[in-house]
Structure 1
Amino acid sequence: MDNTTCYDRLLIKIKRVSKLLFAVLLFLLTCFCITITQLSILLFYRSSPAKLKFFMDLTKEGFISLLITILRVIAPSSVRITTDSNSIPKGTFYKDLKTGRISSHLSSKSVIIANHQIYTDWVFLWWLTSTADLAGEVYIMLKKSLESLPILGFGMRNYKFIFMSRKWELDRLTLHNSLGAIDANSRGVGPASDAPPLKEDSNGEIHWDTRNINDREKHWPYSLILFPEGTNMSPNTRQKSAKFSNKIGKTPFENVLLPHVTGLRYSLMQLKPSIDVLYDVTIGYSGVGKEEYGEAIYRLPNVIFRGQSPKLVDMYIRAYKLDEIPLDNEEEFSDWLYGVWQEKDQLLNTYYAKGSFGLDPEPDHTVIGAFKMSTYPFFFSFFFPGLLFLILGGLVWYCRH
């Protein structure tokens, strides 16, 4: 019996190590291929902004497809999506009978906000956009330090991700120019249309001519993902958040951090001419209790080396039109956002007590499926490196003969 147990344990370890080695090799190989692909795109399509953006967006989609493929191998999860019946039409999310994947009719121009629990929250939100074939149109706000990562930083700059220094005088300019370009592209008059800026102020602000919308040019969709809390929930951040809440006369939350107002409000104001909707997502992870921290349980080493992942990821989604949000008054907007987070805190209380958000059980408002997406963009990442390999191989063969 003991020998059998030891043998089973050995098999489990071998299987785990094999999965890990496969994941690491796949990640390194694909990142290398994506980099070569991006360099090739920059070389061949620099003078064609629309094609440049189109193919760069494919590499963006390929990267998230890579991450999801790896997670499915080493730490598989399922997703349960529940939508608010008052703000999101029935059937917005559904199970595609042909592919078996979750699909959706999410808006093509949106901002997505969510509570922040673990470092891979953004992966699940990025996956969410893939249900509507928008994974290549995602923009994410990240810490400035990530821009300097070898290879990955180069890729994220090509994805036009927005790097924040947490110094508002610098971040305001970054947001103005980044979001201004996204908004202009969405109306066919931005850099992807090879349109020149209307002007650039002395302080570096770039402005686009949006007076005459160009219907002949492609109107690019977008999904901007950001976390108003700024960081994930931990004992340290919870203490700081509670201290600041008391300082400004707010009641601290039990399950979420106090959201920051400035960045979100500015983003919505910059995108106001084109944005269709703001999606608010409340995320809950199975295996995390009320007095526990997701970032401690599902740390990256635990996910990568132990295959430890939430078996079920719960998402509750609400939608807000911009005319429902008091954008023009900062104090009113702050109160509105605090109210949204207060409801989120109550939802998580229910989640920790029941294992679900305890909301609309109708099939048209709830769908469950595997955490996966199409692998087509993933394989596209190998196209240019494969072509280069064939050309070099052909040249070597020709020279030898």
Structure 2
Amino acid sequence: MAIPREPQPLNLVQWLVRTAVFCVFYGKSLELRTRLAYSPTYFAALLFWPFQNNLFHNLIVHTQRCYGTLLVSINQYFAPSNFIITVDETAKGVVKQTWNGAKIELDIPERIILIANHQGMRFFQFIFLKRRWAADKGALVKVMNSLASSKDPLWLLIFPEGTVVCEATRKSSKNFAEKIGTVDHEHLLLPRSTGLNYCTQTLRKSVSHIYDLTIGLEGISAGQYPEDIYTLRKIYFEAKYPRNIHIHIRRYAISKIPDDEDKFAEWLRQRWVEKDALMSEFYTKGKFPTSESSKVVPLKMNSVFELYVLQHM
């Protein structure tokens, strides 16, 4: 099963100490986030926005990196987890150790499209969508044209399901399956293909591959919804969080993916059939299959010095 031995619940004293320490740490993180939001870097980015898009982009990337460090630090100390990374035949060699064996790194191009089975900030260049093509097309066309003409590194992360799996979305997925005359999935939601197809076709000249991530959380069994099991309160106050997060990587060359809208939709649905089967195996065996030995990557900062840098930026 995918459920490991349940950790012992915290007693009252442990809960009070953990809650107090978390509140102090989180309060400090709020101070740091405020500092990021009103930092000279942030305002410099705003000043340069109309004149120097490249400089604006670089400054925003810097603030994103700082904010990411802050989020990682919170989880490192209050919900320490490992990424268990596996690959299939299409993605052999993507995950490897550095020359000295000290770290795990990804050997992938600078510009890729990522799709995943799980899920803001407009200033951080998130693309906000309403999940209706008629309403989203204008915004998506503008952003994709900008990305297509840029030579900057790019990870375009897309969730074709559009939202998380829960009781309400499970019903919507079933209704959508009936509407298009197909069978709903057991563990995943049916993907929407129009937006992903447009992104793929627009970026085809500068992006060579789509990387597909299938994600499984330890402590979740088939039929359960992660958002019900791992709430923020349980994770940070009660120390109930997934000790291992399993990520299975597959890779597809965009040149071999059909560009016809109907054929692309069928291609994507078939990938989701495979992903649903992967989730079934995960819930049965507690792990994904792999063509190479799995890699364990602790979710942590490279160094606590990164927090010092945040304090003094």
TM-score (norm 2): 0.88
**Quick one: higher RCO (CA 8 Å, sep 6+), 1 or 2?**
2
Which residue type is aligned with residue 26 of structure 1? Answer: K
Q: Classify 1:96/1:179 alpha carbon distance in 2 versus 1 (closer, same or farther; 3 Å).
A: same
Match of 1:42 in 2: 45
Match of 1:185 in 2: 150
User: In the aligned structure 2, how far is the partner of 1:249 from the partner of 1:182?
Assistant: 35
Offset, 1:267? 1.3
Query: Which structure 2 residues correspond to residues 304-319 of structure 1 after superposition, within 5 A?
Result: 304-319=236-251
2:300 aligned residue: 372
Q: Is the 8 A contact 2:15 2:238 kept in 1?
A: no
Post-superposition shift, 1:311?
Answer: 0.8
Residues 229 and 258, structure 1, Cα contact 8 Å, conserved in 2 = yes
2:138 is matched with: 173
Mark the runs of 5 or more structure 1 residues left unpaired by the alignment.
Answer: 1-7, 122-145, 147-155, 187-219, 385-401
What value does the CA root-mean-square deviation take over the aligned residues?
Answer: 2.2
Distance 1:267 1:56, change over 3 A: same
Give, in whole Å, the separation in 1 of the partners of 2:284 and 2:103: 29
CA contact 2:173–2:184 (8 Å) conserved in 1: yes
Contact in 1 for aligned 2:204/2:254 (Cα 8 Å): yes
Which one of 328, 343, 346 corresponds to residue 277 of structure 2? Answer: 346
Asked whether the 8 Å contact 1:75–1:309 carries over to 2, the reply is: yes
Q: Pick from 92, 106, 116 the counterpart of residue 89 of structure 1.
A: 92
Task: Judge conservation of contact 1:101–1:370 (CA < 8 Å) in 2.
Answer: no
SS at 1:240 equivalent: helix
Q: 1:377 Cα shift?
A: 6.4
SS, match of residue 260 in structure 1 = coil
Matched residues, number: 301
One-letter amino acid of the counterpart of residue 344, structure 1: K
Kept after mapping to 1: 8 A contact 2:76/2:301: no
Same amino acid, percent of matched pairs:
29
Tell me: CA distance 1:97–1:311, structure 2 relative to 1, closer, same or farther (3 Å).
Answer: farther
CA distance in 1, matches of 2:310, 2:144: 27
Q: Is the 8 A contact 1:101 1:373 kept in 2?
A: no
Alignment-derived partner of residue 255 in structure 2: 323
Conserved? CA contact 1:228–1:261, under 8 Å: yes
Q: Distance in 1 between matches of 2:73 and 2:97?
A: 19
User: Which consecutive unaligned segments of at least 5 residues does structure 2 have?
Assistant: 1-9
The alpha-carbon distance between structure 1 residues 174 and 381, as it changes in their structure 2 partners (threshold 3 A), is farther
Q: Deviations over 1:234-291 (max 9, x none)?
A: 1221122112212211111111010011111111122122112101111011000012
8 Å contact 1:41–1:56 — kept in the other structure?
A: no
- 1: CA distance, partners of 2:167 / 2:158: 22
Equivalent position SS for 1:282: strand
Q: Which is worse superposed, 314-323 or 291-300?
A: 291-300
Poorly superposed stretches of 4+, deviation over 6 Å: none
Distance in 2, matches of 1:176 and 1:23, equals 41
